[in-house]
């Protein structure tokens, strides 16, 4: 029998109720034209190089900060369950796994974004800025969802 591991000390979890159906929220996460508009903290822009939404598919992109610094990112998709779950591994700079769930909540969506790191120490390093950055990311997602209507 597999041993269950508690990862809570190595996680950053952001959750929000979004006033849109989960199919629409899932589309904003999985359609690169929408995702490029909102991914990242406030003021960041994105250039997607590869977005291959399938298990073991690559997602390679460059994020540009407001002060014009470029940050190359590479992730690999693990699991796509439309419109319930999206899982990928982030493979650059900070290594972590992301599990995003989209739960129906009476026509709204309970969105949960969980970053799971290999160590508590790595999680603690990233947590300093990622907690606020993830909230900004969700704010930008809500703007994109309003623009999708």
In a domain, 74, yes or no: yes
pLDDT tens profile 17-36 = 999 999 999 999 999 999 99
Do residues 96 and 90 lie in contact, with contact meaning Cβ atoms separated by under 8 Å? yes
**For the chain, what is the radius of gyration of the CA atoms?**
15
In a domain, 20, yes or no: yes
Residue 5 phi, psi dihedral angles, 5° rounding: -110, 130
Tell me which residue range forms the domain holding 133. 11-148
In a domain, 39, yes or no: yes
Percent of the chain's residues with pLDDT above 90: 93
In a domain, 4, yes or no: no
User: HSE-up of 11 (CA within 13 Å, CB side)?
Assistant: 13
CA–CA separation, 41 vs 63, rounded Å?
Answer: 10
| Tokens, residue 95 | 């290594």
In a domain, 128, yes or no: yes
Q: Residue 65: which CATH number? A: 3.30.530.20
* pLDDT for residue 1 is more than 80: no
In a domain, 19, yes or no: yes
Q: Is the dihedral of CA 65, 92, 48, 148 positive or negative?
A: negative
In a domain, 24, yes or no: yes
- Cα torsion at 129, 55, 79, 122 (round to 10°)? -30
Q: How many domains does the chain have?
A: 1
């Amino acid at each position: 029998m597999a041993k269950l591991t508690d990862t809570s000390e190595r996680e950053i979890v952001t959750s929000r109720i979004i006033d849109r159906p989960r199919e629409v929220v899932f589309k904003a996460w999985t359609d690169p034209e929408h995702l490029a508009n909102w991914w990242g903290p406030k003021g960041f822009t994105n250039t997607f190089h590869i977005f291959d939404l399938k298990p073991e598919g690559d997602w390679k992109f460059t994020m540009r900060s407001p002060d014009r610094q470029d940050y190359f990112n590479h992730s690999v998709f693990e699991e796509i369950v439309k419109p319930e779950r999206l899982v990928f591994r982030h493979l650059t700079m900070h290594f972590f796994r992301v599990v995003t769930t989209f739960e129906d909540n009476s026509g709204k969506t309970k969105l949960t974004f969980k970053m799971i790191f290999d160590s508590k120490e790595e999680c603690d390093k990233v947590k300093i800025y990622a907690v606020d950055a993830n909230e900004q990311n969700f704010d930008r997602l809500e703007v994109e969802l309003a623009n999708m209507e």
